[in-house]
Chains A and B, each alone.
Chain A
Amino acid sequence: MRFRAKIVDLACLNHFSRIINTIAKLAKTCILRLTVCKLYFILSDKVANGGASMWCELCQGNFFDEYQMEGVAAEHNEIYLELVPENLSRALKTAQNAKAVKMKLTNKHCPCLRVAVELPSLSSSSRIVTHDIPVGVIPRRMWNDFREPSVPDFDVSIYLPVLKTMKSVVERMKNLSNFIVIEANLSGEMNLKIETDLVSVTTHFKDLGNPPWASEDGCQSSAQGRDLESMAEVCIDIKKLQQLLAGQQVNPTKALCNIVCKRVVHFILLHEEVSLQYFIPAIA
């Protein structure tokens, strides 16, 4: 099992750091799955962490100048590591204007992901900061626990409003309530609602548009034949939504959510070659 990779381009490095920061905000620990073409950050839904799950996918070619990996066996050419994304985020913090960042899987005393940051210096010798981030290697029999979640059979799919606006609304609402109701219909309308003993607040968004799912992959969903005006609603933990929005430092090129009435809300954020899916279960 081998993995080594290198980023030289500063823009790629910053983009990669931003993604790691976002992930660090969403998950305390996560799975890093490495394949020949792609990196995946996976959080699977355990009740202990509130039942939210995440699937973030990026093409290595868009970030790394060098990338070599060898899985356990030729027919299973993949690596699954468990790590604390915050550690990786911290390691990359020193790399803001680095000349190069190398990542390597090592096994000195315990399995580690070594992040070596080469910093610019005035003299000819360069400074290198190395972080060894402990990782757990996930055995192959457990890989099945981390499969890509399927798009749920949603009632309503809708594009999200400008995330900056949504973020500030959700942030204020978080001060007022622990829960938030998201409701949307197939006429491009979405409402965010909170209600407590002291106050009730509703923010109405309109003209958001509904993504054309059925025509894309031919899948039939509950959205078919649904009354355009009727709202599908889901009540979720407001902190989970706030974390997702707070982590978005760049406006994604496409952002949408799929609501399964009273069950789950599924967010999809696409930013160039990175896709982030996030599932927040309903609170009964």
Chain B
Amino acid sequence: GHAVLGPASGQRERYALSLLRAVHFQDYATCFATASGLRVTVEDAKCIQANAFIQAEIFQEFSVQEESVMFRVSLSVLLDCLTIFGTSSLPGTSTALRMCYRGYGHPLMLFLEEGGVVTVCKIHTQEPDELLDFDFCSTKVVNKIILQSEGLREAFAELDMTSEVLQITMSPDKPYFRLSTFGNAGSAHVDYPRDSDLMEAFHCNQTQTNRYKISLLKPSTKALALSCKVSIRTDAQGFLSLQYMIRNEDGQICFVEYYCCPDENITEAEL
């Protein structure tokens, strides 16, 4: 297998970097490249999975010789290598980047150039982990809401993050969409009516109340900060999917996606 990515430069590189940072809550990431782009997956505690999709169009050149290639690398090492010339490049210069992966057992090679200075990085790759399959196909989705990210950012600022869990209620009837926390300073609820300006789409078929560990959801706030829209979906078991749509300066769109297991320690009585 062989993948040549790049050269990506300047703003686009910063954009790709911010996507990678958005999923950087665990050191190791599994990268999966196909003709359509690169997917970077990070998991924690077999409870949460984050995926950053970097579309092929972000790169000036992108080719994958085989149908797909997959490898695992340390994300912090990758980020340090990508920012070797600093996060803010000198005015008038831009960093050119070329990435190559020759296939199983080979290192991921990065070639960076800025103002005549060349850096070559050889990042050793590892056997990819078995990834969790949340199996979130559209037929299994029970409730789905698309919200402007601004609305969710406000909510996260309001809610009490000392709470252990975030409770999400989605319902075809009142309160439609409710976020609740139960922290040191008491309970807090944020409700969104279905006709709110922030609500772009509302497809709820069934009343569902589920709790998710805040510690697991916290990493997703990095992506929330960058995004313009978020799609919130649940399936029958209460698994949660958060899809953040992130637009760069050129109007290109990428996605960062989180899947999270519901918190099991909950009884019907508590609801």
Contact = CB atoms under 8 A, between A and B. Distances in A.
Interface residues of B, number: 21
Interface of A: 161-162, 164-165, 168-169, 172-173, 175-176, 197-207
Nearest to B76: A175
A207 B117 CA distance: 10
A168 B85 contact: yes
B186 interface: no
Contact of A201 (B86, B90, B116, B120): B120
B246 to A, nearest CB: 25
Contacts of B81: 172, 199, 201
Contacts, number: 62
Q: Which of A164, A168, A169, A172 has the most CB of B within 10 A?
A: A172
Interface string B96-124: 00000000000000000011111111111
Contacts of B115: 162, 165
A204 B117 contact: yes
B83 A172 contact: yes
A197 B83 CA distance: 20
Contacts of A204: 117-120
A172 B80 contact: yes
Contacts of A169: 84-85, 119
Contact of A199 (B83, B118, B124): B124
B5 to A, nearest CB: 18
28 contacts: A165-B86, A165-B114, A165-B115, A168-B84, A168-B86, A169-B84, A169-B85, A172-B80, A172-B84, A173-B84, A176-B80, A197-B124, A199-B74, A199-B81, A199-B122, A199-B123, A199-B124, A200-B121, A201-B81, A201-B84, A201-B122, A203-B117, A203-B119, A203-B120, A204-B118, A205-B117, A206-B116, A207-B116
A172 B80 CA distance: 5
A169 B84 CA distance: 5
A161 B117 contact: yes
